[in-house]
Chains A and B, each alone.
Chain A
Amino acid sequence: MKKIYFDHAATSYPKSTSVSRAVTKSMALYGGNPGRSSHALALASGDMLFDAREKISDFLSYDRPDHVVLTSGATMALNLAIHQYIKPFGHVLLSNLEHNAVFRPIHLLCEKYNATYSTFSYLDASLDLEKKLQDNTCLVVCTHASNLSGRLLPISTLGAICKSRNIPFIIDASQSIGHLPFSFEETHASILCAPFHKALGGVMGGGFALFREDDATPFIAGGSGSNSLSPYMPKELPDCLEAGTPPTVAIASVLASLEELSLEKLVRRKNAMLLKTDYAIQKLNNRSDVMLYDAHPNPCGIIAFNLASVPSSEVGNKLDRHGICVRSGFHCTPLAHQTLNTGEFGAVRISFGEENTLSEIDYMMKVLDKEFPS
């Protein structure tokens, strides 16, 4: 049975031929542990890592490759980023659409440091943010795009507000990066975090945090390949935040993917996603029993819906029997589900990629009509 993959917000699939090739080649070319030795294989791995840092910083138009901290994924990047700024008795503001990769570390660290947190609404986000800032607000964290609805938040405006008040601002760009062009500068972010394996097209197991400032506090400690006799982590970025062996295969994969991701391609991708989401929303709206959640044409290719009285898991399972891959449930974002009032069964999320076609959307609608006559 042919698979129709509508779960790109979880991870993009299939990966491009050049990414698959880069992963295979990396086993031979980058077998040495970067930064650990002086032999040719270790130096080649180290060079590849630096190429990736350069590509990522170029992609975000920020000329500081040494400020790109390579991590095991967006979750690790967000954890180490949030860790930089939460202070005892401080206050953290986050949007009401955040993923658990933001919400849980904030909850954990606020408990640890006797700090508090509250949310601002994605509707009128800048006004609500300003209203909810407190004297002790030490951090604002915001997703660029909701992983449930694809809603883009006005990060540049929010960043400007934070900058004017000297409050650190962290962006979770997991669902937006690779879907639309933007620069790090225009976001005014202190740190921007993202994974490799979603729209950037790399494989799972890697991500990054891009830092604006030179200074950072170690999050985990361990081998860094430098000054080994010291009991302390190095002081400089990125080494101070990169304890342990880096995920070279994932890094090689994103490097290959970024090499073919031009601005023109990003713009084409963005327009295609707007078209696909618009088409799918129209089709879903033709059914009388469909409930859509903040559905709108969006460049991230995401739509959340339910069929009245049918648990989302049942819809997901039935679609899977017809070879259609979607995600159901709560998508690691209880805040967004609460905000969009999806109810006790979560929601079905369809999320498109570059290769999905309108006829695949038609097929999904046929399956829904067959399995769940409205």
Chain B
Amino acid sequence: MSMLLFGSMTASQRAKRALARIGISATIKKVDSRINNGCSYALSFEEKHYLNAIAEIRRMGISYFTGA
């Protein structure tokens, strides 16, 4: 699985719905912000979608960190 990190729930939800629009299913989980660049939300999806997912999230202008 690939994981992207977001500072807010809304940002992770925007990203999740953006990915859904291009056929990528993703799951939101809360994570420990101390060990995740201050991010509290992680979006997980299948690794094979990684490049498409990153491209779409960037296109939407949503800030993210890459998971550890």
Contact = CB atoms under 8 A, between A and B. Distances in A.
Contact of B13 (A50, A228, A234, A235): A50
B9 A65 contact: no
B31 to A, nearest CB: 9
- Please indicate which of the listed interface residues B8, B11, B34, B38 has the most CB atoms of chain A within 10 Å of its own CB: B8
A46 B7 contact: no
Interface in B4-50: 7-11, 13-14, 17, 28-30, 33-34, 38-41
A224 to B, nearest CB: 8
Interface in A47-74: 47, 50, 53-54, 65-66
A38 B7 CA distance: 15
B38 A227 contact: yes
A234 B63 CA distance: 13
B40 A227 contact: yes
Chain A interface size, as a band, is 20 to 34
A35 interface: yes
Nearest to B30: A38
Contacts of A235: 7
Contacts of A37: 30
Contacts of A230: 33, 38
Interface string A223-245: 01111111000111111000000
B14 A229 contact: no
Contacts of A237: 10
Given A38-B30, A43-B28, A225 B11 contact: no
Interface residues of B, number: 18
A46 B13 contact: yes
A238 B10 contact: yes
B29 A229 contact: no
Contacts of A238: 8, 10
A53 B28 contact: no
Interface in A21-43: 34-35, 37-38, 43
Contact of A226 (B14, B17, B28, B41): B41
A258 to B, nearest CB: 17
Nearest to A228: B33
B57 to A, nearest CB: 13
B49 to A, nearest CB: 21
A57 B63 CA distance: 20
Contacts of A46: 9, 13, 28
17 contacts: A35-B9, A38-B29, A50-B9, A50-B17, A54-B17, A65-B10, A66-B11, A226-B33, A226-B39, A226-B41, A227-B7, A227-B33, A227-B40, A229-B34, A236-B63, A239-B7, A239-B9
A228 B14 contact: no
